[in-house]
Amino acid sequence: MTAPIDPTGLVPQVPTTADQRYVGWEAFTDLAFMGEMSMVMISAIALSAVVAYHPAARRKAWRLEQFEHPKTFIMYALVASVIALIVRVQPSMALVVFGIGGLLRFRTNVGEAKDTGRVILVTVTGLCCGLQLFVIAVLATVFGWVLIHALEVRAVERVMVQGLDAKHLGASASSYTRILKAAGCTILGEEKNGYKGTVAIVYRTGPTFDRERIDAQLAELPAEERGAVDWQAG
């Protein structure tokens, strides 16, 4: 999309109305435009993932919210790319998008930051529909759905085992980690406290994670290795 030039021929001017080639369902026939929009979203997701999953940050993570931060970063990157596409096609919407974002972030209680990202994503998708920017709306929905599935299929959780005998703390921790690994989980961290008789294990669930089946296996452990289990989801 070429910006018009002012009469002096020196300063490019930003258009204030949408390029009609990209408005309506007819825009789906412009494969070059669809490919360009897709590459913008893919690039935003890929580049944000490089930063979000930086090994140095992951090594220091222990709290559940720290393991969930990358999901928030990537979702916000997708939201930012969609907003940029809206403003690029229809620059006059810049202030509208800014106002909607501020209203949602500071006036609406939507829970965690990653939930805010999803709310803003569906909001700007609705905005695209209102502007008849259907290509961007559909692509944002597809990329958002796939991204949420990919990020949430393997959640990071923690199990806290309390009331253990300090003499059997090591054996108990080994038994719990063994059962979690057998269920397809990846152990991310483990903390034993002999004074309190507790074991905390941070793990990443697998696609076939079944907590009820794991509870049944834990119930079969020797009495000296069993404790009160507190499942903590991220």
Highest CATH level, class, for 156-233: alpha beta
pLDDT at 112: 61
Return the higher-pLDDT residue of 234 and 76: 76
Task: Specify the length of the chain in residues.
Answer: 234
Mean residue pLDDT across the chain: 78
Q: How far apart are CA 13 and CA 3, in angstroms?
A: 6
Domain boundaries along the sequence of the chain: 20-152, 156-233
pLDDT at 62: 57
Please name the amino acid found at residue 18: A
**Residue 17 neighbours by CB under 8 Å, 6+ apart:** 90, 92
- In this predicted model, what pLDDT tens digit does every residue of 160-185 receive, in sequence order? 888 888 888 888 889 899 989 888 88
pLDDT at 16 over 60: no
Return the higher-pLDDT residue of 7 and 20: 20
Q: Name the band, by pLDDT with cuts 50, 70 and 90, for residue 83.
A: confident
pLDDT at 2 over 50: no
Q: What percent of the chain has pLDDT over 90?
A: 4
- In this predicted model, what pLDDT tens digit does every residue of 105-162 receive, in sequence order? 555 554 566 667 777 788 788 878 877 888 888 999 999 898 888 877 777 888 888 8
Q: Name the band, by pLDDT with cuts 50, 70 and 90, for residue 1.
A: very low
The arithmetic mean of pLDDT across residues 47-57, rounded, is: 78
Please name the amino acid found at residue 122: V
pLDDT at 100: 64
pLDDT at 57: 62
Buried b (16+ CB within 10 A) or exposed e, 3-17: eeeeeeeeeeeeeee
